[in-house]
A and B are shown apart, each in its own frame.
Chain A
Amino acid sequence: MIKFINVFIEAFPFFMNGLIFTAELALSSISIGFVIGVFVAISRTYGNKFSYSISTVFVESIRGTPLLVQLFIFYFALPQIGISLSPLMAAIISFSINSGAYQAEYIRGAIQSIDKGQMMAALSIGMTKWEGILNVILPQSLIKVIPSWTNEFAYLIKYTSVAYLVGVPELMAEGEFVASRNFEFMDVFLGVALIYLLIVMILTWGMARIEKMVRMPGV
């Protein structure tokens, strides 16, 4: 135990460096993914045939392929057609797109669970379909989607670790770096695991509080 603590303290500055990248990856991917998710979800529910088909193909192809393959396409394959991205850029873009597809499905589910009368009422007071989506359907859907969103956040934080395979110096990469020098694989990776676990726990707790705060009374 004492040895673990010593190794952990020694590795701590490296972990913190890695954690900054992990946080950057997770936060930017979930935010960009959220924007993608809202658009895709709306075009799958209220869009015309064209936007429905495009967004469906998007969701299915992203969900049907491994995240690592998507990352490698952005980092290793795109340069072959003249698009070179930094490791961080490639990771953020592929994680955002990946998360966008999943979030789109969560949001679509929430939108479809909203009673049809809500949109009818919005239209009846003279809103356009878009005003109805923006003022009535989306706010209610986003409240309902928070539990799934917590889930997505927890996944994404852990999945950012694959960015180490294209050379982003995030938490996992820093752990690998430290362990390859002091050979304390057990203590170092237990330490890394502990940090991921702590972050996910804090996040879950925070999201549960937000969920309570914005809950529609009585619903």
Chain B
Amino acid sequence: MKTLEVKNLKKRYGDNEIIKGISFEMEKGETIVVIGPSGTGKSTMLMCINRLIEPDEGKIFLNGEEITGSKHPEIFRQKIGMVFQEFNLFNHLTVLDNVRIGPIKVKKLPREIATKVAIENLKKVGLESRINAYPAQLSGGQKQRVGIARALAMEPQLMLFDEPTSALDPELVGEVLEVIKKLAREGMTMLIVTHELGFARDVADRIIFMENGEIIEQGSSEILVNPSKERTKQFLAKFKEGR
């Protein structure tokens, strides 16, 4: 069974079709990186998968169960971790509480067990020493690692990353990418939207190139070097110039 199936996903705002019928599948343990120019619907597509944005058409399945059409999207969101570009840590809670609030309030785990789970995941992202800090006292890279730990604490079957390093200072990007690479090695199923092409090459089992709400090309990280479609070539060329 596929971990994730997306079938003919469409989303429009007014007359503007942001996503024009996207289909793809993910195997368990697979890491897919989505690349493409800004404003081409990559983030929208990601948020449609856990229905933070309601798709207009198409079907999405998580381990064979249909997410779209369910009256209780929160049940699926518990199984799909999400990491945001802007971190979105809960500002009024300490690092520890940020990570264990999900297990406590959503999974209804006893406090001690939830705390254990939270600390385990904070260790995984290398932040067990900062459990009593508040989000505003952390660097961007630390915030994003807490964001990852918060998502992991729900023991998700799939992780979505929405440009996890785009809001970070260049010198803080590495520590976050290292954590994501570690998750890939551990076999987490991950769908990652990013502009970090070097990282994409290292971590991706498959790369999807998206433009104007469509998948233009997909394949192994080989397409970063030898793209078959003209649009992908242009995008990659521009990217190299920009660097």
Which residues of A come within 8 Å of B, CB atoms? 115, 117-118, 120-128, 131, 135-136, 139-140, 143, 216-219
Given contacts A131-B106, A139-B92, contact A123 B52 (CB under 8 A): yes
- Do most interface residues of chain A lie in helix, strand or loop, or is the interface mixed? helix
Which residues of B come within 8 Å of A, CB atoms? 50, 52, 74-75, 77-82, 84, 86-92, 101-102, 105-107, 134-137, 150-151, 154
Number of A-B contacts (CB under 8 A): 78
Which residues of A lie under 8 Å from residue B74 when comparing CB positions?
A: 123, 126-128
Given contacts A115-B88, A136-B90, contact A124 B151 (CB under 8 A): yes
Bound: A40/B63 CA distance, A: 41
Bound: A196/B27 CA distance, A: 71
Q: How far is the CB of B84 from chain A (nearest CB, A)?
A: 6
Q: Is B91 in contact with A219, judged by CB distance below 8 angstroms?
A: yes
Q: Is A123 in contact with B90, judged by CB distance below 8 angstroms?
A: no
Bound: A18/B184 CA distance, A: 71
Could you list some 22 contacts between A and B, CB below 8 A? A115-B86, A115-B88, A117-B88, A118-B88, A120-B52, A120-B84, A122-B90, A124-B80, A124-B81, A124-B151, A125-B78, A125-B101, A125-B154, A126-B154, A127-B105, A131-B105, A135-B101, A136-B90, A216-B92, A216-B134, A217-B134, A218-B136
Q: How far is the CB of A154 from chain B (nearest CB, A)?
A: 26
Which residues of B lie under 8 Å from residue A121 when comparing CB positions?
A: 82, 84, 88-90, 150
Q: Is B136 in contact with A124, judged by CB distance below 8 angstroms?
A: no
Which residues of A lie under 8 Å from residue B137 when comparing CB positions?
A: 217-218
Q: How far is the CB of B102 from chain A (nearest CB, A)?
A: 4
Q: How far is the CB of B107 from chain A (nearest CB, A)?
A: 8
Nearest opposing residue in chain B for A129, CB measure: B74
Nearest opposing residue in chain A for B137, CB measure: A218
Which residues of A lie under 8 Å from residue B86 when comparing CB positions?
A: 115, 117
Q: Is A217 in contact with B136, judged by CB distance below 8 angstroms?
A: yes
Q: Is B91 in contact with A124, judged by CB distance below 8 angstroms?
A: no
Q: Is A219 in contact with B136, judged by CB distance below 8 angstroms?
A: yes
Which residues of A lie under 8 Å from residue B82 when comparing CB positions?
A: 121, 124
Q: Is B77 in contact with A118, judged by CB distance below 8 angstroms?
A: no
Bound: A127/B104 CA distance, A: 11
Given contacts A131-B106, A218-B136, contact A118 B90 (CB under 8 A): yes
Bound: A115/B87 CA distance, A: 12
